[in-house]
Amino acid sequence: MPPIYKPTSGPEDWKQFLAKPDLHWKTGYSAKSLAYCWEGADGLPSEVATAIRNQWGAEPEPLLIIPEYKVPLPGGATDSQNDAFMFCRIGAQTAAVMIEGKVNEPFGPSIGEWFKQPSPGKIERLQHLCTLLGVSYPPAPELRYQLFHRSASAIIEADRFKADLAIMIVHSFSRTRAWHEDFAAFTAELGAPGETGGLPRAISVPGRPFHLGWVTGDAEYLTR
């Protein structure tokens, strides 16, 4: 398909871009909560804007936001389908930002589960992800595969857009920070603190600065 996008008229427009709309579009789940939160924001959700402002001391200006953004990866036909992609200005810099929405959904299979009896395509893909993120191959089996390809998506698109920064944000609406321990284990592997609300730099990633963090959305969007 050609890279042509049209503006949304409201949060319900996000449903059509889901891989399985009838399964994933439910009140209290991440896809719908994220859509209503981002569509209802004046610019950016306050928790996202605050995390960026605290890290760089400048007000973020969203230039482009695309729901359900696919990033091709080597080693197979399956893309990394990110919940949202944002290209923004942060002061004098630009940033490619991937957003991963969560409520109580896990980060999918672990590396050990996904990489069991790996095909040549999976080997190629995982080697590529590890190279982008600057971590040893193969990585620890308990780490979550989804966090690898979501983070790589930000780095890949930052390169394509010639952005100064690559950022991956987990935008969680969980009241109990469900699955935060998996996120913290992943950020530790990349040499970045996994605290909530911050966007520390991952020191393992070579080249362009890559930052990642976890922010918590308003509970009101769990009822939309």
CA 2, chain centre distance (Å)? 23
173: in domain: yes
pLDDT digits (tens, 9 = 90+) for 143-181: 999 999 999 999 999 999 999 999 999 999 999 999 999
pTM score, two decimals? Answer: 0.97
Q: What is the rounded radius of gyration, in angstroms, for the C-alpha atoms of the chain? A: 16
44: in domain: yes
- For 200-204, the CB contacts below 8 A with 24+ separation are 200/55, 202/133, 202/134, 202/151, 204/133, 204/134, 204/135
Domain count, the chain: 1
Which residue range is the domain that position 149 belongs to?
A: 13-223
3: in domain: no
Average pLDDT along the chain: 96
pLDDT digits (tens, 9 = 90+) for 48-87: 999 999 999 999 999 999 999 999 999 999 999 999 999 9
178: in domain: yes
23: in domain: yes
49: in domain: yes
Residue 195 has pLDDT above 80, yes or no: no
C-alpha–C-alpha distance, residues 106 and 133, integer Å = 21
1: in domain: no
7: in domain: no
